[in-house]
Structure formats: C-alpha cells, structure tokens
Amino acid sequence: MSTRTTPYAIDKALLSELVRGAQKTFENAETLFREASVLREAGFLSRAYCLHQISLEECAKIEILGWHATSMFMGHKADFGKLRKNLESHAYKNRTNAYFLERSEEEEAAIQSGDFEGAAEAFSQMQREFHSKANIAKSASLYVDFTDGKFVAPNERIKPEMVAEIATLNDRFLRVGFSGLERLQMYETNPEKIYKLLNGFDKRLLELKDEHPNDPVRALNTFLQEMLERMRSPD
C-alpha cells in the first residue's frame, strides 16, 4: 500500500482503504438485515435472530473504523494489530454498540446527581450485560443446548418478540452505521480540513473540561457540537 501523504502527514491510501472497508461493511450489514427479514417472514426465527445479531456487529465495525481514522488525524500512529483484534472481537463490537443504546436508569440517575464516576460504572455494567445477552442469544439461535438436564433447540429458545426487538435495534443501528460511513467519506473528501479540525482534539477537550469541571457530559457534548459545526463550515 502506498505511503503517499498529504501535507499534514495523513496517509491518503490508508484512509481510502478504511473508507472502502466501511462501505463494504455497511453493504454487508444491509444484506444481512434483508436476509434476516426474509427468514423471519418464512418463520425461521432462530436463524433470523442470528443474522440480525451479525448485522449489528458489522455496524459496530464501521464505528471502530471511524475511531481508527480519527486517531490518525489526531496524530496517532496506525496500529493494524489493534484494529484487526478489535474488528474480530465479538465482545469489543458489542461494547461499541452499547454507546448507541439508551442510558440505563442507573446511569441516568447517577448523571442527574452529579456522580459521574457512578455513571461511568453503570455504563460499563450495561456494556457487559449487553454483550452477555447478545452472545448467549446468538449461540442459542444456532445450537442445541443442554440446560438444567434437558436439551433445548434454537426454535424453543428464540421467541418472536426477541426477533422483533433485535430487528428494530438492527434498523436503528444501520442508520447509525450509515452516519458513520458518511463521516468517513467526509474525511476522505477533505483530509486537510479534517486534520486541522481534529489535530487539536486533546487540547480543546481539556479546555472544555476545565470550563465544566463538574459536568464532563456537557463538556463532551459541547466539543462534539463545535466539531460538527466546523466540519460543516465551508472554510
């Protein structure tokens, strides 16, 4: 792969490959969603559930690719070993998807009370539970299990309401994945502008944290809003 760079030391060939990977991943996630829908209509609920779960994990990969590209613009060296490990890890992909779930009651209560350490722990707990639930259900959708002294088939464990729930989640995550793909495409279209925008990420975020020492959520939201406005700016 070429190492040709922009004046800002961003490897354009690598960036293009990340965008290409995100595009292929999104297309695969969409295809899995459609195939799952066909299976669901035909009554094959357990297999439909499995394909929806795989589609969710493909959506997470788009976000992971976006994080990797963003770190490059921030001046960090590309770490292909870490990227590959994260893309292959079911746990990492499920934990990534948890960022796009609604807050748990525990996390919301901690935020409202100003207990941000408690909020972080509540979110981590939700990540663990989300991965465990996804992993158990995906396995149950494929294999006959021996539980409590009895054999249980996939079609006995995967219920219609479970498939309906994951199909709705899959549709929402596809929308998130498409937004992530568009962001990566924006990176590729104007890497110099994105470099200028993201190169000061650490410094600006620290400034906002100093401005809002008791409200890190507000600091992060302010930063993200500023970044979005600058990305949309014609300058």
* Positions in the chain whose pLDDT score sits under 70: 1-9, 200-202, 212-221, 223-225, 227-235
- Expressed as residue numbers, the domain containing 207 is 200-235
All residues at 6 or more sequence positions from 192 whose CB lies less than 8 Å from its CB, including other chains: 6, 7, 8
One domain, residues 92 and 79: yes
One-letter amino acid at 94 equals N
204 shares a domain with 179: no
Same domain, yes or no: 206 and 159: no
| Residue 70 located in a structural domain | yes
State how many domains the chain has: 2
For 125-141, what is each residue's pLDDT tens digit?
999 999 999 999 999 99
231 with 186, same domain: the answer is: no
CATH number of the domain that residue 55 is part of: 1.20.120
Closest CA to 158 of 31, 54, 50: 50
This prediction has a pTM of 0.83
pLDDT in tens, 174-200: 999 999 999 899 999 988 888 877 776
Residues 43 and 159 in one domain: yes
Q: Determine the length of the chain.
A: 235
183 and 97 belong to one structural domain: yes
Contact indicator for 14, 72 with CB cutoff of 8 Å? yes
User: What beta strand segments (E) does the chain contain?
Assistant: 145-147, 150-152
Q: 224 in a domain, yes or no?
A: yes
Q: Are residues 58 and 169 in the same domain?
A: yes
Let me know whether 63 and 94 are in one domain.
Answer: yes
Q: Are 215 and 164 within one domain?
A: no
What number of H helices and E strands is found in the chain? 11, 2
Computed over every residue of the chain, the mean pLDDT equals: 87
- Whether residues 166 and 183 fall in one domain: yes
120 falls within a domain: no
Are residues 95 and 85 both part of a single domain? yes
Whether 108 maps to a domain, the answer reads: no
Please indicate, yes or no, if residue 106 is contained in any of the structural domains: no
Helix (H) or strand (E) holding 28: helix 12-41
User: 123 burial class (0-12, 13-18, 19+ CB within 10 angstroms)?
Assistant: buried
115 is a domain residue: no
Judgement on whether residues 96 and 163 belong to the same structural domain of the protein: yes
| Residue 220 belongs to some domain of the structure | yes
